[in-house]
Structure formats: C-alpha cells, structure tokens
A and B are shown apart, each in its own frame.
Chain A
Amino acid sequence: MGEISPNEFVHFIGDDIRLDPVMLDKEMSTEQMLQFYMGKNTPDRQQFIIENLKVELDTIEDEV
C-alpha cells in the first residue's frame, strides 16, 4: 500500500477493522461468479456492463 503511511495503516487492521458480513448466493456458485467477472470477455458481460453502468455527474446548473 504505497499510498498509506504506516501510522494510517494501523487503523485499517486494528481491532475496529471494518468488516462486512456476506452470504453466498445459492443461484450462482463462487466459481461461476468469478468466471463471469474475472474470466474471458464475453458478449454477455459486455452487455451486462453497458446496461448497468453507473454514472456520477456533478453538474453545475446555471452559473452566469
């Protein structure tokens, strides 16, 4: 972690480390999931990305 100083890093792995509980999905195995997200680029995945793109835009309405 080149961007973080050791003093800061202490807080990441301390007692109050942030942990989110998760649950495995019954419909999709871990292997399938990894295959989809990390595997070869498939037309399916491309379509999935295009359909679910997240847009963050902080427009300035009228600045005159």
Chain B
Amino acid sequence: MSEEINENEHEEELTNQNEALDTPQQETITKVTGMYREWFLDYASYVILERAVPSIEDGLKPVQRRIMHSMKDLDDGRYNKVANIVGHTMQYHPHGDASIADAMVQIGQKELLIDMQGNWGNILTGDRAAASRYIEARLSKFALDVVFNSKTTDWKMSYDGRRKEPIDLPVKFPLLLAQGAEGIAVGLSTKIVPHNFIELIDASIKYLKGRSFKIFPDFLTGGIADFTNYSDGKRGGKIRVRAKISQFDKKTLVINEIPFGTTTTSLIDSIIKANEKGKIKIKKIEDNTAAEVEILVHLPPNVSPDKTIDALYAFTNCENSISPLACTIENNKPVFVGVSEMLKHSTDLTVDLLKKELEIQLNELEEQWHFSSLERIFIENRIYRDIEEEDTWEGVIKAIDLGLQPYIKHLKRVITKDDIARLTEIRIKKISKFDIDKAKQFIESLEDKIAVVKNHLANLIEFAVAYFKRLKVTYGNGKERKTEIKVFDDIVASKVAMNNAKLYVNREEGFVGTSLKKDEFVTDCSDIDDIIVFRKDGKMSVTKVHSKTFVGKNIIHVAVFKKKDKRTVYNFMYRDGSRGPSYMKRFNVTSVTRDKDYDLTNGNKGSIVHYFSANLNGEAEIVSINLRSVGSIKKLKWDIDFADLAVKGRAVRGNTITKYAIKSIDFKSEGVSTLKPRKIWFDDAVQRLNVDDRGELLGEFRAEDKLLIITQSGKVKVVKPDLAMHFENDMIVLEKWKLNKPISAIYFDGEKERYYIKRFLIEVPEKEEVFITDHPKSQLEIVALDYRPIVEIQYSKRSLVNEQVDLEKFIAIKGIKAQGNQLTSEKIKQINLLDPLPFEEPKDLTSEEIEVIDEQIIKDEIQIKVPELEIKKIVMEEISVEEKARIALQKSIEKKKAEDRKRDDKSQTKLF
C-alpha cells in the first residue's frame, strides 16, 4: 500500500518539475530516481531486517524475539494470559496485536518454547486457537534453559527509546532449524523447514567432534517424505511429502498422517475436488480426526484401492512438493546458506556463549574468592583495630591498606579502594562470631569451583558436547522422528487417472476427440491422456485429448499413447513415393513431441501405407503379399513373417519388400511376441490384470504363456493373458498355466451322491471345459494345484478317525472328462487340503538332468520320515564337495517352494 502512495506522490511531483527547473533553488532538487531509490530501500530494508526474515544467530524474527523477551520479562513461573503477553510485547513491537498473537500461537504450536494452556488450535485440522484472552502461556523449561541469559545478551533501545531489548537472544541450540521459518520480504523470501530435535543435537555433537553430519527435515504432522533433492535446504532444492495412506479394507482407504503444509480440512477439500473433476473416483469421505488423523476414503465397487492410492498422490494434496529456500540475516545482511552451514554456525555460537558464561562465572567466583580472602585476613589479623585512631576516611583506608599488606601475597589481583571500602562495611556481629574454619572451608570450596570452571574452559569442546547430551536427555523425550524418510517412485498421472471420457474418431475427415459421439468409438480415456494417431499417408502424431481435434485425414489407427512404452510394436509396410519400392519395418514409439507430424515413410511424395498393425505385446504376425501381375513377374504371392524383422526406431527406412507394385497385403496368421516375458499382476480389488505392480504377481509371461482359470462351478480354462480381460466372480484359481502340472479335484456328484477324486491335465487350451458332472447338486469340493496333494477327510461318523489321502497314489492322471475314483462310501463331514508332499518342479532342462538323482534321495528320506537334520548328515557323508554345493542349492530351492506352497495354501483356504 505504501508503494501506491509513493507512486501518487511521485506523479504530483512530476507536474511540478518544470517550474522547479526554472527556479534558482536548482541545487536542492533531488532526482526522482534517487528519491524513489531511498523510499524503496527504506521499505525493503525494514521488511527484510525488521519483519520477515529470521536472524541466523538466534533463529528468531523480530516479533518472535520480542515475544520471547516479553515472556521472560513477565516470567514468574505462573501462566500469563496470552493477551497480556501480546500487550507487553507491543512495548517493543509497535504493530498489530492480532498479528503478534498469531505469531505467538505459531511458536506455541511448534511445541518447543512455550508451555501452553487452553485451546491453542490444532495443526492437524487447521482449527484456530481460541482468542488470546482465553489462552495462557509461560516459557517452557527448555526455553528458560537454552534461550535466555541477560549477562551474555547484547542490548539495543526499543523503538521509542523507553526500554532495552535484545539484539539477538543468546540461544544455545539450533532453534531456527528445529522450528523452521517462513517469510516473504521485499525482493526476497525465506522458507526453512523444521528438523528433528534429537537429530539436530546429534549433528551438533558430531560437528563438535569433527565428524561429518547430515540433517533432514522432520514434520510434526508426520507423513512420508522424500529428501533426495533437499540439497541442504538451499534455493533450488525440493522436498516431496506424502500422506500415509493404507488400505483399511478392500473398499476403504485410511489416511493416518498428513503431509506438511496441509490440514485434514484442506486435504479433504483437495480430494473432493479431484473427485468432482473425475481424476479419482470415491464414494464418500469421512473425517474422524481428533487427537490423531483418521480420514476414511470409501471407494465405489470396482475401483482399485492400489490405484486410488497412487491417484491420490498424483491428483490431490496427499502429495505436496515443498521448495525450501534458506535465507537468514547475518550481520544485518541477508545470506543464503544451507542448513548444514546454519547448524555449524549455531553450534559455534553455542560454544562461544558457553565460553562467555563460563568466563563470567569464573570472574564472579574469583571476585568472591578475592573478597572472602580479604575478609579473612581483615578479621583474622584484627586489622579493624588499626582504624581506631584514624580520624579521616583517607586515614582509615590507608591504615587498612597498610595492615593488609603483609598478608596479601597470595591474592590474584591488587587491592582497590573499593575493596577496602567494602571491608569497612563488615558488621561487628560478623567479626565477633567469625569462624576461621568455616571461612577456610568456604574459600576452599570456592577454589574447587574455580578449578572446575577452569577445567571446563580448558576443555570447552567436551563441555559443549556434554551440554548437548544433557539437552538430549532432558528434553529429547517424545521428540523422536515423526516423518518417515523414503524415496518415492514417480507416479505417472496418466496411468492412475480414472477414465472419465470416451474417445471417438472420424477417420475420413481426420478428427479425434471426446465430443464426437456420433462417430466411431475408440476407447475410454482420461482427459489428461495423450493420443497417438497414424494416417494413411504414413504420418504419425501425438496430441492431447480434447473435445475435437483435427489430426489429418484418413486415419488408420488411433489409440491412447503411453510414454516409454516399449512393448507396443507397430508393424508397418509402406510404398515410398507414388511409384517407388515398398518397405517394411517394426518400431515402437517411446517419446515424441506433441502435435508434431512424424513421417514414417522415406519422405517421398505420394507414399502410402500398405499395411499397419499395433501390437500391444510386440506380436509379429505373418502376412501375405500379393503383387499386381505386370509383365514378367513370376512370383506374385508370398508370405512375410514380421518375426524375422528386428524392432528398430521409427525413423529407419526399413527392409525392401519389393520394387514392384503391390496389389494387396493380407493378414495371414497371428504371430507370437518377439519380446521378453513380461510380469503380470492380478489386482484383486478390480479383478483385472495389470503390468504396473498392483496386486498379486502371477508370474512372467511370454507370448505363448497362458493363464489357468478355475471357477467354483467346475469350469476350467486356459487362456492368453489379456489386460482387458474380465473374470468371473466365482473364480477360485488364477495362475500361470504349466503344461504338465496336474489339477487334482474332489467333487460331489449330485446324481450318485458320492465324492469323487480326479486328476487331469489341460489338453486343449483356450477351450472352456467343465470337469464336474452336470447335475445341479454336483459341487466342487477341493481343487489342488500341487503336484502331490494330501487331503484330510473328516467323517460324519464319530467312530471313524480322520484319514489322510495321498491323491497321487489314489488315482493316476487321466483325461479331463474322466469321472474319477470314488473317495469313500462313508458320509463325509469335511475335507481339508493339507501341506502337499514335496516335489521338485523341473526348472529347466540342464538342472533337471542333474538334480533328478538328488531329488530321489531326498524324496525317499522324507517319505520314511527321517528328521531333516539327519537327512543332511547322511547325504553329506556320502557325497563329494561339489555335490554338497548342489544339495545346498537344492535345499534353498526346496525352501522357496515351501514358501510358495504356503502362500498357495493360504489362498486355497481363503477360497473355500
């Protein structure tokens, strides 16, 4: 505001300046720029030095320092009304009472310097403190211990010259780093985030001991933070903070800690906003925060909690980024130093202050010792008698001085007039009751104290280390780190965004967009997605999703574009120019500039795309080439397998197909992927497959690998994994299919009312088959995918004991249509699947060959129930060193298998 006023004044002066030039007073005229410069600097200096930026010495802004000083003024051990303290502070800080009260509440909420009483607000919810007349405060024990010492304080006059106030408080602790600070001045600003109390003390101790240290921020609100780019809190650094979100159950997420800089209220607002924009999908949000944060996010059905957590980080304040900018005042100048530098400065200052305190203490002790010694000499030697004959004051002084002379050789300094004057003030009572031993003892105790202080001064660093250790022990309780340090993965926003739009295309006219509802539907997408477009003329471009965008006529392919996608391979055949040869190539598109046409042909005019396919998993198909029969061409038709072609960059020319004109290219047969196997996960909550590490890992899939799916209704099917696949609700088995792994099942036949056991292999993939009988009462009891499963049968008849059945021995592997063998004629109460017998799955050909022998040994031993330790011994004795190594390997494989089985079992029991 003041700047506006300045501007107006300045205009006024401009109108006057012509007259002014003509007047004889020219020498007194100031230049406008100079005037402006003065005003500006006055204002900027004031804001920087007196308002917004903390001092590096005590880490306090002026208002904070004045509050602390006032609290010390008023300190009598009892609580004071905050309003009263604010009023007192205004003697030093002539500004708004409300802003002083706010500043004080902020100090209080940092839970370090002020002992608070009443409602001081809540940093978690953002609730404000009660009015300053309702709340009370006094200095904390820590503040009294660490912040004040009038003897080591430099003073200045207050603004009106009535009182004195500290220039800097003698703070013996890295207060600035513990509390953090934030301020916007003129031309510069500061942002220092808080650090952990205990870690700061540890760092100070390390520094004193000459070791290196590193400090990281810590926030009272907790949360998780990534300090990889903290860069010591200097300008340009970056901190990422996240809320702690966990899955409460399949449909609910719970937020237990919020990131620094947010409150539960602002966090919830940001979540609701993201929901309204369609970036995330939630059903409702519930705030149960009281002493601790608890925000429940209820999800609608078919929304993945895993994905939603990522989306919350990507689209709401659940993840925040903070840019620290450490600026402080040192010697009345703003300096930009890192937090390590600040800590060193503070620690050096602490040592300095401790030294000063010790020196003051030493001085006081020595003075005391000096006078006590004098007193002793004075009384012991009855020097007071020497003054009896003296009439004048000078005479008295002289007499005493003379009387003392023989005894003062051991004193440390000369006797002054003041000393003697003080001796004359000794009371008669003290002389008459003088106890020599007591005086001697007292002087000796002083001597001891002096020795201790001198020792501290000589070993100042150790003394400072001990001081910091004492601070840690006394005040460190409950100040443990609250923010978890973690390195964050980058969440790709477009991967976790909800599909909130539909993409349409008008191929002929060359438009794509979300508003072209009359045209061809392409896919669901989110409004932050990019789309990739291929055109008949061999051009490709990537553009952001809009309601309607012109991308060029004759679109042959449009899809949502994924950055860094190396799996999608485009198989491409084109004719170069209007009469040129034809080429073929395979490429992927990993990164592009938006809205730029890329020519995929050789660039000659009239080029045209003969054949195009987009293969999400790098599949290579076989196509038939048909040439136009012209002249003497003998071979008019042949096949090309894209698998023979390497995947290269999009800019290559490609391999020549033919120089003759092509009549048509036809798809002949689907091919397999030419890429490495990819990991596929199953996200239970959304019942979808994904390749983004969400949910349970199903395994690594090559193009020919398939998924085995079994449902409770007895349907079994082996299919190629497709990310867009949906699954039936009663699915009980979903795993990577292994060709030779038998499926064992126990089912109840409704017609015959008996239990049957069958074991079978899948012989025809991609065909859904039912492996229990058709009767409505037929029911699947148990499906085991172990190689050698064991079940336990509990009979209804109490007289019959439970029986264990080895399914492998019970029935051989037969066809899927076989009925199987009857389990028992008795009535069955329950069947439980037990831990299976060990089986070494063939890993690969070579290991299979070698390990067969060992496997036999171990298997046999186990079957005759020799304890595991002994097996090892027996085997070890029989075999050579190399074999020992092999056995060890075997063991570890066994162990891993056992774990796998355990996991399988868990899911089994869960399913039934």
Contact = CB atoms under 8 A, between A and B. Distances in A.
B41 A57 contact: no
B332 A53 contact: yes
Closest 10 CB pairs of A and B: A21-B20, A58-B157, A25-B33, A54-B45, A49-B187, A60-B155, A22-B13, A55-B332, A53-B45, A23-B29
A33 interface: yes
Given A22-B13, A60-B155, 17 more contacts: A21-B13, A21-B23, A21-B25, A22-B32, A22-B35, A23-B29, A23-B30, A24-B31, A38-B3, A45-B187, A49-B45, A50-B187, A54-B42, A55-B49, A57-B156, A58-B157, A59-B167
Chain A CB within 10 Å, residue with most, of B13, B30, B36, B164: B36
Interface in A1-49: 19-25, 27-28, 30, 33-34, 37-38, 41, 45-46, 48-49
Majority SS of interface residues in chain B? helix
Given A53-B41, A53-B45, A58 B20 contact: no
A22 B48 contact: no
Chain B CB within 10 Å, residue with most, of A20, A23, A25, A50: A23
A36 to B, nearest CB: 9
Nearest to A38: B3
Given A33-B32, A33-B36, A59-B155, A49 B20 contact: no
A30 B32 contact: yes
Chain B's interface size range is 35 or more
A53 B44 contact: yes
Contacts of B186: 49
B14 A24 contact: yes
A54 B50 CA distance: 11
Given A46-B187, A53-B333, A22 B167 contact: no
A24 to B, nearest CB: 6
Given A49-B188, A53-B41, A55-B49, A21 B164 contact: no
A25 to B, nearest CB: 4
Given A49-B48, A59-B155, A24 B42 contact: no
B26 to A, nearest CB: 8
Given A20-B13, A63-B164, A38 B32 contact: no
Contacts of B406: none
Interface of B: 3, 7, 10, 13-14, 16-17, 20-21, 23, 25, 28-37, 40-42, 44-45, 48-49, 154-157, 161, 164, 167, 186-188, 332-334
Contacts of B34: 25
B754 to A, nearest CB: 87
B32 A19 contact: no
A45 B37 CA distance: 11
Contacts of B48: 49, 53
Contacts of A20: 13, 30, 35
B25 A23 contact: no
Given A22-B30, A33-B36, A50-B333, A59 B49 contact: no
Contact of A59 (B29, B45, B156, B187): B156
A22 B41 contact: no
Nearest to B329: A53
B332 A63 contact: no
A37 to B, nearest CB: 5
Contacts of B45: 49, 53-55
A49 B688 CA distance: 60
A45 B48 CA distance: 14
A30 B49 CA distance: 28
Given A20-B30, A23-B21, A49-B41, A58 B161 contact: yes
B334 A38 contact: no
B31 A22 contact: yes
Given A25-B33, A49-B188, A60-B164, A38 B156 contact: no
Nearest to A53: B45
A23 B31 contact: yes
Nearest to A43: B187
B842 to A, nearest CB: 68
A45 to B, nearest CB: 5
Contact of B157 (A24, A25, A30, A60): A60
A24 B20 CA distance: 11
A20 B45 CA distance: 23
A53 B50 CA distance: 12
A50 B48 CA distance: 9
B18 to A, nearest CB: 10
Contacts of B154: 59
A27 B16 CA distance: 20
B16 A57 contact: no
A60 B158 CA distance: 10
Contacts of B332: 53, 55, 57
Contacts of A60: 155-157, 164
